Amino acid sequence: MPTTASSPTASGAGGTPIADVTASDSTLRRFLHGLPGVDAVGLEGRAASLGTRSIKTTAKAYAIDLAISMIDLTTLEGADTPGKVRALAAKAVNPDPTDRSTPRTAAVCVYPDMVATAKEALKGSGVKVASVATAFPAGRAALDVKLADVRDAVAAGADEIDMVIDRGAFLAGDYMKVYEEIRAVKEVSGSARLKVIFETGELSTYDNIRRASWLGMIAGADFIKTSTGKVAVNATPANTLLMLQAVRDFREQTGVQVGVKPAGGIRTSKDAIKFLVLVNETAGEDWLDNHWFRFGASSLLNDLLMQRQKLATGRYSGPDYVTVD
Per residue in 281-297, pLDDT (tens digit) is 999 999 999 999 999 99
Asked if residue 139 has pLDDT above 70, the reply is yes
Task: State how far the Cα of 193 lies from the Cα of 158, in Å rounded to an integer.
Answer: 9
**Partner residues linked to 261 by β-bridges:** 225
DSSP annotation string for 29-91: HHHHHTSPPP-HHHHHHHHHHHTT----HHHHHHHHHHHHHTEEEE---TT--HHHHHHHHHH
The model's pLDDT over 158-197, given as tens digits with 9 standing for 90+, comes to 999 999 999 999 999 999 999 999 999 999 999 999 999 9
Out of 162, 166, 271, 303, which one is annotated catalytic?
A: 162
For residue 54, the model assigns a pLDDT of 81
Residue 87 scores a pLDDT above 60: yes
Whether pLDDT at 64 is above 70: yes
Q: What's the pLDDT band for 53 if we cut at 50, 70, 90?
A: confident
The gap from C-alpha 72 to its chain's centroid, in whole angstroms, comes to 9
Residue 13 has pLDDT above 80, yes or no: no
Of the residues 225, 271, 274, 303, which is catalytic?
Answer: 225
* Residue (of 98, 133, 94) closest to 113 by Cα position: 133
Choosing from 91, 128, 186, 261, the catalytic residue is 261
In angstroms, the first-to-last Cα distance of the chain is: 37
Q: Which residues sit opposite 202 in a β-bridge?
A: none
How far is Cα 237 from Cα 258, in angstroms, rounded to an integer?
18
Assessment of whether the complete model's pTM goes beyond 0.85: yes
Task: State whether the Cα torsion 147-150-156-160 is positive or negative.
Answer: negative
Annotated catalytic, 261? yes
Quickly state the pLDDT bin for 17 (edges 50, 70, 90). confident
- What lies within 8 Å, CB to CB, of 151 at 6+ separation is 188
Reported as a pLDDT band with limits 50, 70 and 90, residue 55 is confident
Number of H helices, E strands in the chain: 12, 8
162 as an active site residue: the answer is yes
